Chains A and B, each alone.
Chain A
Amino acid sequence: MLNERSIKIKLIAMLVMVPVFYVICIFVGSVGIPSSDVIKALTFQAVADEANSFILYDLRIAEALTAILASAALAVSGIIMQSYFRNPLAGPSVMGVSSGASFGIALLLVCFPQFIHSDTNSKLMLVMFAAIGAIAILLLLSLIQFRVRNIETLLIIGLLITYFLGAFETLLLSNTDAQNVKTFVTWGFGSFSKTGFGDVSIIALVAGALIFISLFFSKALDAFQFSDQTVANTGINKVLSGRIMIILSGLLCALVTGYCGPIAFIGLCVPHITRMFLNTTRHFYLIIGSLLIAANIGLICLTISRLTFLGQNIPLNGVTSFLGAPFIIFILLRTKRNKIA
């Protein structure tokens, strides 16, 4: 009966890998900490040394948990976008959705700088503005989608939207004080480290709920990836399901972008890796697979970014782009020949 058995085995394997990479990730860092303390932290025992305790719990563990949650959310956001737009190259970072989110944040920084502190409320404000920006761009793209027949055209339009919003951002930021610009630029690097345990639990709750709802759109996503004809024959309300998909995808992307900044390539690459690895087009498995694979990849990228390179830590987006861009080129070259049935 199809390859459901092998899919399930692969999913379990991916699930088992998460704690492995998590442990590795907690061990690696620029400050040397005795293994005994690390093991204590991993088993949630008190660490005697106060500095080590702070580094392990508030920095490394919080960061690793953020990496797992944020990557999973981005991957699910990406897979919904790819199936909704019937475009294997769709993803939060290439379609202008991340830049929509970042434009929302630039707007917040410039217009309401009084909201920017590092407390939980102001972070929720960031997420809200990011969400408005991201969903606005997605709705715009879904309207444009009906006017273009070629899938590449939509991507180019997405890139142009990125440039267009970039122009506005420059304008906004050039008229504000240096501190705001610095906040914005640092935020733009992307990082899993700006979140405390309070933020982590909010991300977990919201992302968990959104991903759970997404699972119930597996059937609709299965149909959407083919033609309108299949959507209609399956008896799915195209407009309503489509809108919900866009909102789910936009919220997931905005949640991560608001807390961690625009993280490149994870939302674009992970769905591909999942499809290739599971060898299926069924979204129930693809969504679960994507979030597990994303959790692993997020931890790997975070671990690499902690390794010091020429005395400097590598910014997270440096790592994801370094690994992600060549992978997408590989995908493009591979799928060129069998594009349309």
Chain B
Amino acid sequence: MLELRDIEIKAGNTQLLNKPVTLNEESRQTIVFFGRNGAGKTTLLKTIAGHIQNKGEISAFGKNLGSSPINAWAKTCTYIGSREYIGQSISTHEFLLTARLGFTSGLGLYKATDHDITNTWIEKLKLQPLLKKDYLHLSDGEKQLVAIARAFIYESPLILLDEPTASLDIPNKKIITELLHTLSQSENKLIIYTTHDYHTSLNLCKQVWFINNRSEFTTGNFSSLKNVIETDFGIHA
């Protein structure tokens, strides 16, 4: 389902992934990706998404990054970063729709299905009050909800989110985290997200990716890695 081989990412002087990563379990799960600032989390996610070139083999859901055309891989894997650059005002509705651009022709005209899918997510995440507002004037929490809606509007089976809870208040962190774990189940998606909000994710996470202080990458059950992570982060119960 997701396989990473011979990927070369340098974190400092050491090689981040020195053995292949394979995920074969069912797709509907959320993986929480922990690691200190600068550990290489974003680089790894962007590499998987194909936004950063890499010589290694990356395949997911029967598609291979190297051998598929750019737009085919884009429909398999979506990466949403912590910040989206927007130079001018745009209505939230129009911004949500841009997630369907990959499905339009060169003219960029949306079809009825594009509107339908977007509207479904507007309803699911209750975004109706935001639609007419300028995206630039939304609060951080609202922007994050919009980012998540866009991630799902792309309709790719693999969703990579970079710090979806950054700069949110405590209740919003909790709402967004819970939402991600629920949606991966109900929508049958594989979601991998990075976070520094260890305590918010504590009760929800089952599978984790972790980069420790020595730039070693590990994957596994949260219960078995909990002690390692807490020692590394300097959290003492």
Is A220 among interface residues, defined by CB-CB distance under 8 A? yes
Question: Are the CB atoms of A219 and B101 closer together than 8 Å?
Answer: yes
B88, A281: Cβ atoms closer than 8 Å: yes
Contact mask B72-108 → A, CB, 8 Å, 1/0? 1111001111011111111101100111011011111
Q: Nearest B residue to A217 by beta-carbon distance?
A: B106
Which one of B51, B104, B115, B154 contacts A228 once the chains associate, using CB atoms below 8 Å?
A: B51
1/0 contact trace for A214-236 toward B, CB 8 Å? 01111111110111111011111
| Cβ–Cβ contact B108 & A219, under 8 A | yes
Contact check, A226 vs B102: say whether CB atoms are below 8 A apart: no
Contact across chains for B84 and A235 when beta carbons are under 8 A apart? no
Q: Are A281 and B94 in contact (CB under 8 A)?
A: yes
- In the complex, whether A60 has a CB less than 8 A from a CB of chain B is no
Distance (whole angstroms) from the CB of A7 to the closest CB of chain B: 11
Asked if residues A232 and B51 are in contact (CB atoms below 8 Å), the reply is: yes
- Taking residues whose C-beta sits less than 8 angstroms from the other chain, chain A's interface range is 35 or more
User: Who on chain B is nearest to A280 by CB?
Assistant: B94
Q: Is the CB of B107 within 8 A of A219?
A: yes
Contact code string B173-199 (vs A, CB < 8 Å = 1, else 0)? 000000000000000000000000000
Are the CB atoms of A235 and B75 closer together than 8 Å?
yes
- A232 in contact with B107 (CB, 8 Å): no
Chain B proximity of A290: nearest CB distance (Å): 14
Among B86, B93, B115, chain A packs the most CB atoms within 10 A around the CB of: B86
Chain B residues near A222 (CB-CB < 8 A): 98, 101, 108
Chain B residue, CB-CB nearest to A334:
B89
Binary contact track B141-161/A, C-beta < 8 Å → 1, others 0:
001000000000010000000
Q: Taking the complex as formed, is B10 at the interface, i.e. its CB lies under 8 A from any CB of chain A?
A: no
Q: Please, which residue of chain B has its CB at the minimum distance from the CB of A219?
A: B108
**Considering the complex, which residues of chain B in the window 42-97 have a beta carbon less than 8 Å from any beta carbon of chain A?**
49-51, 69-75, 78-81, 83-91, 93-94, 97
Known: A235-B72, A339-B87. A227 touches B81 (CB 8 A): yes
Instruction: Report yes or no: A226 in contact with B97, Cβ–Cβ below 8 A.
Output: no
Bound complex: CA of A339 vs CA of B87, how far in Å? Answer: 6
- Number of residue pairs A-B, CB distance < 8 angstroms: 108
Asked if A329 is at the interface of the complex by the 8 Å CB criterion, the answer is no
- Please tell me if A312 contacts chain B, counting CB pairs below 8 Å: no
How many angstroms from the CA of A339 to the CA of B107 in the assembled complex?
Answer: 27
**Least CB separation from B119: chain A residue:** A1
Q: Which residues of B contact A283 (CB under 8 A)?
A: 108
Which one of A88, A215, A216, A223 lies within 8 Å of B88 (CB-CB)? Answer: A88
Do B101 and A234 touch (CB < 8 A)?
yes
For A213, the closest partner residue in chain B by CB is B106
Tell whether B209 is near chain A: CB-to-CB under 8 Å. Answer: no
Contact A235 B73, beta carbon cutoff 8 Å:
yes
Provide the bound-state CA to CA distance between A313 and B83, in Å: 51
Q: How far is the CB of B4 from chain A (nearest CB, A)?
A: 18
Q: Are A232 and B79 in contact (CB under 8 A)?
A: yes
Complex: chain A residue closest to B51, CB-CB: A232
Spell out A's residues near B (CB within 8 Å).
Answer: 1-2, 86-88, 151, 215-223, 225-230, 232-237, 275, 279-284, 335, 338-341
In addition to A151-B87, A219-B105, 12 A-B residue pairs with Cβ atoms within 8 Å of each other are A2-B93, A215-B107, A223-B101, A226-B98, A227-B84, A227-B85, A229-B81, A281-B94, A282-B108, A283-B108, A284-B107, A341-B136
